[in-house]
Amino acid sequence: MREEDDQLYVYKLYGLSTPRRIKADKSLRSLIGPKAHITEEQIEKAQQVIENSHVDFKPHALNYINQIDKAVEMIKAESYAREEDYSSLINPLIQIKGQAAMFGNKLASEISAMVLKFVEHYHRLDDDMLDFINAYCRAIRASYKREIYETNSPAGLDLIEELSTAMERYRKKFNKKTGR
């Protein structure tokens, strides 16, 4: 399909009959002037700021983990309609997955991606799954507490292996319960 066909499909999908043009906001250009030139030195300086900026993501990650812990406690208190609270677990997990590596913790990001895929595959919030999610929270806390940020470090590989083993136990138990 051509790009134009994709655009027409999107327009039809959202009930738009004709394409709309959106003009760029030129407020930045007006601030620096129409003939402003960005030098190589400015570009290098900006790149250094990007590469050397240090944002401590640990408090944010631990805040997300606390959100997951609270959601797990709330869900465990319910005996039915647990699936309604699914997003309260998934959203903080997605945030950690997407941001941890960007701020230096590749292990937390990889573990979160692994767990997210696993949880989305089963899309169940039974007690065993909630216990598994608690194990995930402990792994992320351990990663930040012990400063284990690389996936190929011995401690990082141990955390990944433990979670993989827990996933396999859940798979076997689920298959036994459901006969799959």
Structural domains of the chain ordered from first start: 58-178 (1.20.120)
Q: How confident is the model at residue 4 (pLDDT cuts 50, 70, 90)?
A: low
Return the exposure string of 16-54: e unless at least 16 CB atoms fall within 10 Å of the residue's CB, then b: eeeeeeeeeeeeeeeeeeeeeeeeeeeeeeeeeeeeeee
Q: How far apart are CA 159 and CA 83, in angstroms?
A: 28
Can you give the pLDDT at residue 84?
Answer: 77
Q: What is the mean pLDDT of residues 92-99?
A: 92
- CA-CA-CA-CA torsion sign (137, 143, 149, 152): negative
Environment class of 142 (CB within 10 Å of its CB; exposed 0-12, middle 13-18, buried 19+): middle
Q: How far apart are CA 81 and CA 131, in angstroms?
A: 18
Q: Which DSSP category does 116 fall into?
A: H
Q: Compute the CA torsion angle 65, 66, 69, 71 (nearest 10 deg).
A: -100
Contact 151, 106 (CB under 8 A): yes
Q: How far apart are CA 88 and CA 68, in angstroms?
A: 7
For residues 17 and 151, which has the higher predicted lDDT (pLDDT)? 151
Smallest CA-to-CA distance from 67 within 163, 4, 137 is with 137
Q: What is the mean pLDDT of residues 126-150?
A: 93
Q: Is the pLDDT of residue 96 over 60?
A: yes
Q: Is the pLDDT of residue 1 over 70?
A: no
Can you give the pLDDT at residue 139?
Answer: 94
Q: How confident is the model at residue 160 (pLDDT cuts 50, 70, 90)?
A: very high
Residue 82 in tokens: 């647990």
Can you give the pLDDT at residue 47?
Answer: 81
Statement: the pTM of the whole predicted model exceeds 0.75: no
Q: Is the pLDDT of residue 116 over 60?
A: yes
Can you give the pLDDT at residue 22?
Answer: 63
Q: How confident is the model at residue 17 (pLDDT cuts 50, 70, 90)?
A: low
